[in-house]
């Protein structure tokens, strides 16, 4: 019998490198503090149905070998327990029947909201600490503090992108790479910048501007023309998948309905999010690119490639292995502190110290999500990224010699070229 009660662990949302590191460190510290640890499989999926068979008692020998392994030894799911009041009631009753007094939730903003609702409805019976996880790095942690999993995903994503860039150079072709990142372009920009991609396009750069598929294609075409003017017919374009949401569900539905089965289907998950993985965005962009290039009398060999699923269950690099140990330890330390009686929190670390952030500070009550952390396009970090991209810039149109050279690639006069592509830089 545990001396101080039982602690439950729930993993929600998509996989991210380091989940097992959190599970391991939470389990070890909790047991060392006299708690019994209950691992709940597949997020809230079974609890919402009142099924208490999908749980297991975790021991230190159970979790220690997984500390530096990818994936999740407890699985995960996107089941939303807040969608139906009865589901939340089932979750609370299940946790009570299991004897759980402390709960660690691991996940993104949806799982954070689910954890906050468990805390709120349990009315002090269950203490809750949420460990923020996403390879998208889009949760509102303190400046400069990444979400766990991001650094590993960027590391392996950049390696893959470098390989594709070398293949592009060797075979004289273009790769159109789509990176995960629904709400923010951190991962796409991190991969593109670290791999010296030719051009990276993220949704944040289009502030107060309507995003269309045609606009995205023209930016890439501008890069292609500029490379061609340099005597190079190859390149690597990295796109953030969140561009799909910027284009909009209605426009995507229109495109998919006109091309049934060709680019995937419109589907939403339990939280109402467009399932971006069901749409072959890279193939869609490549197809539209080919048509627009043909109209200009240009042809490039192109291949589209999605990056994301290859990154989510990778073994964590040392940064995330260390980081998740801090987070797991911090979650247990908070739950056993007097603060846990007053509020549920999101666990963060700043300057080497744990800073528990109350749910009410982190979650927008209107959207029931954490406020997304976007790429700051006015920062020097983004400025550096843009300076090393090869894409049409205002200076290309201001310099007559440079403009004439670009226009010659598509057999246009400088004025015709400006009329066709000048809108990209204004």
The catalytic residue positions are 136
Alpha carbon of residue 12 to chain centroid: 14
d(CA 407, CA 297): 12
Half-sphere exposure of 254 (CA within 13 A, CB side): 8
d(CA 30, CA 23): 10
- Which backbone phi and psi does 393 adopt, to 5 degrees? -125, 165
Write out the binding residues for substrate. Answer: 134-136, 180-182, 241, 309-312
d(CA 209, CA 246): 10
d(CA 78, CA 312): 15
**CA 396 vs CA 225, 230, 383, 399, 413: distances in Å:** 12, 13, 18, 6, 14
d(CA 236, CA 257): 29
Burial (Cβ within 10 Å: 0-12, 13-18, ≥19) of residue 114: buried
Residue 313 and residue 283 in contact, taking contact as beta carbons nearer than 8 Å: no
d(CA 219, CA 23): 43
Write out the binding residues for Mg(2+). Answer: 109
């Amino acid at each position: 019998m545990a001396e101080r009660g039982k602690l439950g662990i729930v993993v929600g949302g998509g996989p991210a490198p380091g989940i097992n590191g959190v599970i391991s460190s939470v389990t070890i510290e909790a047991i060392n503090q006299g708690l019994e640890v209950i691992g709940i499989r597949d997020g809230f999926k079974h609890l919402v149905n009142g099924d208490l068979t999908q749980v297991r008692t975790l021991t230190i020998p159970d979790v220690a070998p997984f500390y530096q392994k990818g994936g999740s030894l407890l699985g995960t799911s996107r089941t939303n327990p807040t969608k139906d009041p009865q589901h939340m009631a089932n979750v609370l009753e299940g946790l009570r029947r299991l004897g759980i007094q402390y709960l660690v939730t691991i996940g993104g903003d949806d799982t954070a909201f689910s954890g906050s609702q468990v805390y709120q409805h349990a009315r002090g019976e269950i203490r809750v600490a949420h460990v923020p996880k996403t390879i998208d790095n889009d949760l509102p942690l303190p400046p400069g503090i990444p979400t766990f999993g991001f650094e590993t995903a960027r590391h392996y994503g950049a390696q893959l992108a470098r390989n594709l860039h070398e293949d592009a150079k060797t075979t004289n072709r273009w790769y159109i790479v789509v990176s995960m990142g629904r709400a923010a372009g951190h991962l796409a920009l991190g991969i593109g910048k670290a791999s010296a991609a030719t051009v990276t396009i993220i949704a944040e750069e289009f502030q107060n501007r309507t995003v269309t598929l045609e606009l995205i294609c023209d930016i890439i075409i501008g890069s292609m023309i500029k490379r061609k003017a340099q005597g190079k017919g190859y390149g690597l374009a990295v796109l953030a998948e969140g561009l799909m949401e910027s284009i909009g569900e209605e426009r995507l539905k229109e495109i998919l309905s006109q091309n049934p089965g060709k680019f995937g289907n419109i589907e939403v998950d339990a939280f109402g999010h467009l399932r971006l993985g069901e749409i072959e965005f890279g193939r869609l962009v490549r197809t539209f690119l080919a048509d627009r290039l043909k109209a200009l009398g240009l042809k490039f060999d192109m291949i589209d490639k999605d990056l994301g699923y290859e990154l989510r269950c990778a073994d964590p690099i040392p940064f995330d292995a260390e980081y998740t140990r801090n987070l797991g330890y911090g979650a247990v330390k908070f739950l056993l502190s007097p603060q846990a009686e007053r509020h549920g929190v999101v666990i963060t670390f700043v300057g080497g110290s744990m800073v528990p952030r109350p749910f009410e500070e982190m979650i927008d009550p209107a959207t029931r999500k954490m406020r997304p952390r976007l790429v700051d396009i006015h920062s020097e970090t983004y400025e550096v990224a843009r300076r090393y991209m090869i894409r049409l810039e205002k200076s290309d149109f201001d310099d007559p010699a440079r403009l004439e050279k670009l226009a010659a690639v598509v057999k246009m006069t400088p004025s015709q070229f400006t009329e066709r592509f000048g809108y990209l830089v204004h």
